[in-house]
Amino acid sequence: AKHSENPRGNLVQSAFHQTLGDEFTFQQDNNLKHKEINPYVDQWVGVCVYVYCAEYGGLGLDFSYSIAVSEELGNIRCGGIPMAIGVQTDMATPALARFGSEELKKEFLLPSITGDKVACLGVSEVGAGSDVAICGECFFTVTMRDNIIQDTIQYTRQRKIFKMSVLYHQSVHVRLAELETEIELLHSLLYRSTALYIKGNDVTKLASMAKLKAGHLSREVGDSCLQYWGGMGFSSDVLVSRFYRGARLLSIGGGADEVMLSIICKYMDTLPKAPDKN
């Protein structure tokens, strides 16, 4: 029911229906995430690829579809599954699709699209970590942040302390409103970057800002919301607890916050210049 009230969710559904017709399983009464993913998140391990040119078995859709699917994947109630899918579709294979030779694409990209091969990202080495810049982050956490807030509203509304819902304390509902506003701002930045990227613009600066903000906001949402769950927030059964732990990765992986700031500074031309050798 929540999905049908969500205009972004409807957008994803109609986009896929237009492209793929009735065979596609993102239907309101046969909803993929509720019927085929959520019940199995603890057991299910797998991958799927939906973007990329038809020559290699992809659908040839533009990057906005990747964003739409990432947002939809954020409705899965754990971080590991969408991250596993996102690493395959948006982190490990794009460089291969863009820069790989025909031979490499046939050997590795094609089976990655058909699901026969699982790609991984190998950027961690003894002497390299944050200095390996990766542009591209899974934005499923935007949806997930939204869901954490909705879960928290639901929980704090029914949780009564001193004969009053936790939610109705001004410091609680006002803070949730602030966080919701921040999420909407992040959405706007994401959609603007995507629209510019599809038109062929360099969006490195905007994407770095979005990644930086996503990391900061994940921490804020996780920390504030967990606080309002009280001791229940420590239980692994609740999404906020999983999110609090898992979302910390965003500020470290795929380019640490400090690296994003360096990129933004570079585009602002505020980085100190290298000393003149003469």
Decide if residue 249 touches ligand FAD (CB under 6 A): yes
Q: Which helix (H) or strand (E) holds 149?
A: helix 140-158
Decide if residue 80 touches ligand FAD (CB under 6 A): no
Decide if residue 252 touches ligand FAD (CB under 6 A): yes
Q: Which of residues 129-168 bind ligand FAD (CB under 6 A)?
A: 129-130
Distances (CA, A) of 267 to 15, 135, 193, 207, 264: 34, 15, 15, 12, 5
Residue from 11, 59, 110, 121 that binds ligand FAD (CB under 6 A)? Answer: 121
Decide if residue 231 touches ligand FAD (CB under 6 A): no
Give buried/exposed letters for 152-171 (b at 16+ CB in 10 A, else e). bbebbeeeeeeeeebbeeee
Decide if residue 32 touches ligand FAD (CB under 6 A): no
Decide if residue 118 touches ligand FAD (CB under 6 A): no
Give the pair of three-digit tokens for residue 117: 């091969």
Decide if residue 262 touches ligand FAD (CB under 6 A): yes
Give buried/exposed letters for 98-131 (b at 16+ CB in 10 A, else e). eeeeeeebeebbbebbeeeeebeeeeeeeeeeee
Q: Specify whether the CB–CB gap between 159 and 235 falls below 8 A.
A: no
Q: Output 61 or 87, the one with its CB closest to ligand FAD.
A: 87
Decide if residue 256 touches ligand FAD (CB under 6 A): yes
Q: Which stretch binds ligand FAD (CB under 6 A): 30-38, 123-131, 201-209, 214-222?
A: 123-131
- Alpha carbon distance 179, 185 (integer Å): 10
Which residues lie below 8 Å from residue 150, measured CB to CB, with a gap of 6+? 2
**What is the three-class DSSP state of 125?**
strand
Nearest distance from C-beta of residue 182 to ligand FAD, angstroms = 22
Decide if residue 219 touches ligand FAD (CB under 6 A): no
Nearest distance from C-beta of residue 12 to ligand FAD, angstroms = 26
- Alpha carbon distance 254, 53 (integer Å): 25
Q: Which stretch binds ligand FAD (CB under 6 A): 34-42, 137-145, 170-178, 247-255?
A: 247-255
Nearest distance from C-beta of residue 188 to ligand FAD, angstroms = 27
Residues forming the site for ligand FAD (CB under 6 A): 87, 120-124, 129-130, 249, 252-253, 256, 258-259, 262
